[in-house]
């Protein structure tokens, strides 16, 4: 290797380390404002780069997240800014950075890593498994009636995103703590990422808008969105782009979506990064009008099986023994007994055999053992073992990560 892999030592070096991924967004040098915002969350020692003659030719970092699991929370590395300059691709730069980054995460006591992938084929080799699907919708507003009318409760107020954190954060936190795949947001994250509205984020859309639903004076739901106003021969063809709409209860969620679906002048309502079990599917009179389509969501990598698996709950009594292969982090390999009475290494005969990436796929509840066995990603060594494991790993809601990091 003619490059040197090491963590950054200053925010100036972090800005260099994110230049390779920035290159693929068409930038010769990172957008200074975007880079400045990133360095607020990515401390230098959490960003690795491949250095060649003093220049970063690749970069890879990890946010320090608290990730919600089914029934718990776990420190997790939110892997981000993966990029290698096209002049240095396929020479092992990503592999070397991933080695250094994941080893450092283990040493810091982060038993899980997770990420959004630009391509499905990159991360499986490092032990990441597809852990969720995410949905997008593109709904003609004139076909957005609900299956049953409801009496509007509460009132919606428009507030400035700059003053919104106090209203939004408690609602988000209540939902995030219960929803596998979501992570806790710090006040800085709200201010610098969620509610900030720099020009470069807008594209062709309007300003960031914030609507809050209040019931008896208390915020119970909110929506962050942008209006894309457009006309063609006098006809409205614009759309509302929903960035995040969250309610603390089914009633509040229904009311904030009704608000979004009823905004005049907009021909369509579009949203991305929705959970696959979003209630709109069953709220609408004509669900097929949603154009509900799926793509891969987050990918999860268990770095320390015992700690990671102990940070989630299990539904049924009993246990399952899984024989795990893990080439990239061999300390995980072997037989594990997993269940509500604990997670331990075992000498017992396994009922299931799989790669560690498969554990990532079941971890948040996005996929069942049975589904994975049907796709030949799990080998069932004892008949019925997958169904038995499903009862133990059962979850009540699909994993959801409402933002790409």
Q: Which stretch binds ligand COA (CB under 6 A): 93-101, 265-273, 364-372, 388-396?
A: 93-101
Q: Among the residues of 128-239, which ranges form H helices?
A: 165-176, 187-189, 199-202
Closest distance between ligand COA and the C-beta of residue 92, in Å? 5
3 among known catalytic residues: no
Q: Which CB atom, from 21 or from 385, has the smaller least distance to ligand COA?
A: 21
Scan residues 168-187 and list those touching ligand COA (CB under 6 A). none
Closest distance between ligand COA and the C-beta of residue 18, in Å? 11
Q: Which CB atom, from 123 or from 167, has the smaller least distance to ligand COA?
A: 123
Other CB atoms within 10 A of residue 344 CB: 16
Q: Does 295 bind ligand COA (CB under 6 A)?
A: no
Phi and psi angles of residue 348, each rounded to the nearest 5 degrees, phi first? -65, 155
Catalytic-role residue among 114, 123, 172, 222? 123
Scan residues 119-148 and list those touching ligand COA (CB under 6 A). 119, 121-122, 125
Q: Which CB atom, from 119 or from 142, has the smaller least distance to ligand COA?
A: 119
Q: Which CB atom, from 35 or from 84, has the smaller least distance to ligand COA?
A: 84
Number of residues forming the site for ligand COA (CB under 6 A): 19
Q: Which CB atom, from 121 or from 204, has the smaller least distance to ligand COA?
A: 121
Among 17, 18, 49, 82, contact with ligand COA (rule: CB under 6 A): 82
Q: Does 93 bind ligand COA (CB under 6 A)?
A: yes
Q: Which stretch binds ligand COA (CB under 6 A): 77-85, 158-166, 267-275, 352-360?
A: 77-85
Q: Is there a contact between 314 and 393 (Cβ–Cβ < 8 Å)?
A: yes
Other CB atoms within 10 A of residue 32 CB: 9
Among 83, 111, 275, 339, contact with ligand COA (rule: CB under 6 A): 83
Q: Does 99 bind ligand COA (CB under 6 A)?
A: no
Other CB atoms within 10 A of residue 8 CB: 25
Q: Is there a contact between 59 and 23 (Cβ–Cβ < 8 Å)?
A: no
Q: Which CB atom, from 88 or from 258, has the smaller least distance to ligand COA?
A: 88
Phi and psi angles of residue 234, each rounded to the nearest 5 degrees, phi first? 85, -5
Closest distance between ligand COA and the C-beta of residue 78, in Å? 12
Comparing every residue's Cβ against ligand COA, the nearest one is: 94
Nearest to 271 by CA among 295, 316, 230, 239: 239
319 among known catalytic residues: no
Q: Does 258 bind ligand COA (CB under 6 A)?
A: no
Closest distance between ligand COA and the C-beta of residue 22, in Å? 10
Token duo for residue 231:
């006309």
Strands 55-69 and 72-84: antiparallel
Catalytic-role residue among 48, 292, 314, 405? 405
Residue 87's Cβ-count burial label (10 Å; 0-12, 13-18, 19+) is exposed
Q: Which stretch binds ligand COA (CB under 6 A): 5-13, 86-94, 256-264, 318-326?
A: 86-94
Nearest to 357 by CA among 114, 135, 82: 114
Among 27, 89, 306, 325, contact with ligand COA (rule: CB under 6 A): 89
Q: Which CB atom, from 29 or from 162, has the smaller least distance to ligand COA?
A: 29
Going by the DSSP 8-state scheme, the letter that residue 146 receives in this structure is B
Tell me the catalytic residues.
123, 405
Binding residues for ligand COA, per CB under 6 A?
A: 21, 24, 58, 82-84, 89-95, 117-119, 121-122, 125
């Amino acid at each position: 290797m003619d490059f040197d892999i090491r963590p950054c030592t200053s925010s100036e070096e972090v800005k260099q380390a994110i230049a390779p991924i920035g290159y693929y967004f068409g930038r010769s040098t990172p957008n200074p404002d975007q880079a400045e915002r990133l360095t607020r969350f990515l401390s230098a020692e959490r960003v690795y780069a491949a250095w060649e003659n003093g220049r970063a030719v690749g970069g890879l970092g990890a946010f320090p997240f608290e990730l919600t699991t089914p029934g718990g929370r776990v420190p997790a590395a939110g892997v981000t800014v993966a990029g290698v300059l096209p002049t240095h691709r396929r020479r092992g730069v990503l592999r070397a950075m991933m080695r250094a980054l994941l080893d450092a995460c283990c040493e810091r006591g982060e038993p899980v890593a997770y990420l959004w992938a630009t391509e499905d084929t990159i991360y499986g080799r490092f032990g990441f498994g597809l852990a969720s699907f995410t949905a997008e919708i593109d709904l003609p507003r004139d076909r957005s009636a609900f299956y049953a009318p409801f009496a509007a409760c509460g009132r919606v107020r428009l507030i400035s995103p700059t003053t919104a954190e106090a209203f939004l954060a408690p609602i988000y936190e209540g939902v995030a703590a219960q929803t596998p795949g979501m992570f806790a947001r710090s006040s800085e994250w709200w201010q610098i990422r969620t509610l900030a509205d720099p020009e470069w984020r807008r594209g062709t859309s309007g300003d960031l808008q914030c609507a809050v639903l209040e019931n008896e004076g208390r915020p119970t739901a909110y929506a962050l969105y942008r209006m894309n106003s457009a006309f063609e021969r006098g006809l409205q063809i614009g759309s509302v782009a929903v960035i995040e709409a969250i309610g603390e209860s089914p009633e509040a969620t229904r009311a904030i979506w009704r608000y979004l679906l009823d905004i005049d002048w907009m021909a369509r309502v579009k949203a991305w990064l929705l959970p696959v079990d979003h209630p709109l599917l069953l709220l609408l009179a004509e669900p097929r009008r949603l154009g509900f389509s799926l793509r891969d969501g987050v990918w999860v990598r268990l770095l320390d099986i015992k700690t990671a698996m102990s940070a989630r709950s299990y539904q049924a009594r009993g246990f399952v023994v899984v024989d795990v292969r893990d080439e990239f982090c061999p300390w995980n390999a072997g037989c594990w007994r997993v269940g509500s009475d604990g997670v331990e290494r075992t000498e017992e005969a396994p009922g299931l055999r799989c790669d560690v990436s498969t554990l990532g796929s079941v971890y948040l509840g996005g996929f069942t053992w049975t589904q994975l066995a049907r796709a030949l990603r799990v080998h069932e060594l004892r008949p019925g073992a997958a169904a038995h494991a499903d009862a133990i790993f059962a979850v009540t809601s699909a994993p959801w990560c409402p933002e790409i990091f």
